[in-house]
């Protein structure tokens, strides 16, 4: 049996070229039209207009960070995952990268997997915390791409995996290493650990999505391993649209901190991208400085040598042909019902 593992992610323009940035933004605004009650031709025209308006500012940001490294880091992780699986004796596995908003798109990855004639497709979102517009949306797009090709292939979807103990450990190790290098102490009241989570529209949460529960759980787990009792959580929201988002916004959270410095840990990402290299390192740094706080940001451990093993553990039951429950992978019970397995959903009665 041959297996194609499609690593799913958001995608970002690798270079600050206008056509790429406008196309990227247009796809995002088109996707999000439903939560703003726009549809049809109105939604398409509005998405294009919003993209044209937003593009110059975003181009400046991408110029400042020398383009987004997200796509390249995703390819490197896919290559490393395939190598780990081969080391484990699985030689009939091919990895692919599929992005929601930039090339290679999810439909491109599906087309390549079909051309390679794989027997099973595994959809694996590289989103540590399962969210509606990230994990769920990416898997829905994967399903649509397979259906549109009328491809009769076995599909295994994976959703939430932030509880994987090795993943938890490598993220807390990254925090420990960073604070040690900068001679900081998270147990002192002069230093506050700030978890920065990607925000999501409140509308999804009102529909029953458990994303904020997963964020809260992650913060508790991470802080427990770090041996600290107090921390601050803030959400990186996109409030330029007329939509209610998760609270507290990270700007508001930082404004409440009574300390001398903050150490920011971006918990929603496994790649460096504009939301870390620009939004945090520039915009949030300015917010902290204005509040009289020294700013430190923990780098994303995207190249931690343990991470490909985490991904390999998630797909190994499918490749080896045994019950995923052996690895504590249970049927996903998210309200956005998918035929998927995860490490986080409550067991069905």
pLDDT in tens, 194-218: 999 999 999 889 888 899 999 999 9
CA distance between the termini of the chain: 33
- The pair of structure tokens assigned to 325 is 């429950």
Nearest to 336 by CA among 100, 139, 196: 139
> What three-state secondary structure class fits 194?
strand
Which architecture, in CATH terms, is 165-297? 3-Layer(aba) Sandwich (3.40)
Give the pLDDT confidence score for residue 243 in this predicted structure: 81
**Helix (H) or strand (E) run with residue 277 in it:** helix 274-277
Cα–Cα distance, 142 to 8 (Å, whole number) = 9
Give the pLDDT confidence score for residue 37 in this predicted structure: 57
The count of C-alpha atoms lying within 13 angstroms of the C-alpha of 189, restricted to the half-sphere facing its C-beta, is 1
pLDDT in tens, 20-34: 999 999 998 888 766
Name the residue with tokens 């699986």.
85
DSSP 107-173: HHHHHHHHHTT-SEEEEEE--SS--IIIIIHHHHHHHHHHHHTT---EEEEE---TT-HHHHHHHHH
**Helix (H) or strand (E) run with residue 297 in it:** strand 294-297
- State yes or no: pLDDT of 35 exceeds 70: no
Confidence band of 317 (pLDDT split at 50, 70, 90) = very high
Residue 140's CB is within 10 A of a number of other CB atoms, namely 16
Nearest to 195 by CA among 164, 173, 217, 169: 217
Confidence band of 239 (pLDDT split at 50, 70, 90) = low
- The pair of structure tokens assigned to 321 is 């042909």
pLDDT in tens, 155-173: 999 999 999 999 999 999 9
As annotated, the residues of the chain forming the CATH 3.40.50.1400 domain(s) are 165-297
């Amino acid at each position: 049996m041959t297996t194609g593992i499609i690593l799913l992610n958001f995608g970002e323009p690798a270079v600050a070229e206008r056509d790429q940035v406008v196309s990227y933004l247009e796809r995002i605004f088109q996707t999000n039209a439903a939560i703003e009650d726009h549809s049809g031709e109105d939604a398409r025209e509005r998405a294009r207009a919003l993209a044209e308006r937003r593009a110059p500012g975003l181009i400046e940001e991408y110029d400042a960070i020398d383009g987004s490294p997200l796509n390249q880091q995703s390819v490197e992780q896919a290559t490393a995952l395939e190598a780990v699986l081969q080391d484990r004796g699985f030689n009939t596995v091919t990895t692919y990268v599929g992005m929601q908003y930039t090339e290679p798109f999810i439909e491109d990855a599906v087309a390549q997997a079909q051309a390679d004639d794989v027997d099973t497709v595994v959809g694996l979102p590289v989103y540590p915390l399962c969210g509606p517009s990230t994990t769920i949306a990416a898997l829905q797009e994967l399903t649509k791409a397979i259906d549109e090709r009328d491809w009769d292939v076995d599909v295994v979807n994976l959703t939430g995996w932030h509880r994987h103990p090795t993943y938890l450990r490598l993220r807390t190790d990254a925090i420990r290493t960073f604070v040690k290098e900068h001679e900081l102490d998270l147990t002192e009241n002069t230093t506050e650990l700030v978890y920065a989570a990607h925000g999501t529209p409140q509308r999804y949460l009102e529909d029953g999505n458990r994303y904020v529960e997963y964020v809260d759980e992650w913060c508790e787990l991470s802080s427990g391993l770090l041996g600290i009792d107090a921390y601050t959580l803030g959400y990186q929201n996109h409030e330029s649209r007329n939509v209610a988002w998760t609270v507290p916004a990270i700007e508001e959270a930082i404004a409440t901190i009574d300390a001398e410095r903050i150490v920011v840990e971006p918990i929603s990402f496994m790649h460096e991208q504009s939301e870390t290299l620009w939004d945090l390192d520039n915009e949030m740094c300015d917010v902290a400085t204005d509040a009289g706080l020294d700013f430190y940001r923990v780098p994303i451990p995207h190249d931690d040598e343990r991470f490909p093993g985490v991904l390999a553990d998630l797909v190994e039951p499918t490749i080896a042909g045994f019950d995923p429950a052996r690895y504590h992978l249970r049927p996903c019970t998210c309200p956005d019902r998918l035929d998927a397995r995860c490490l986080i959903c409550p067991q069905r009665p």
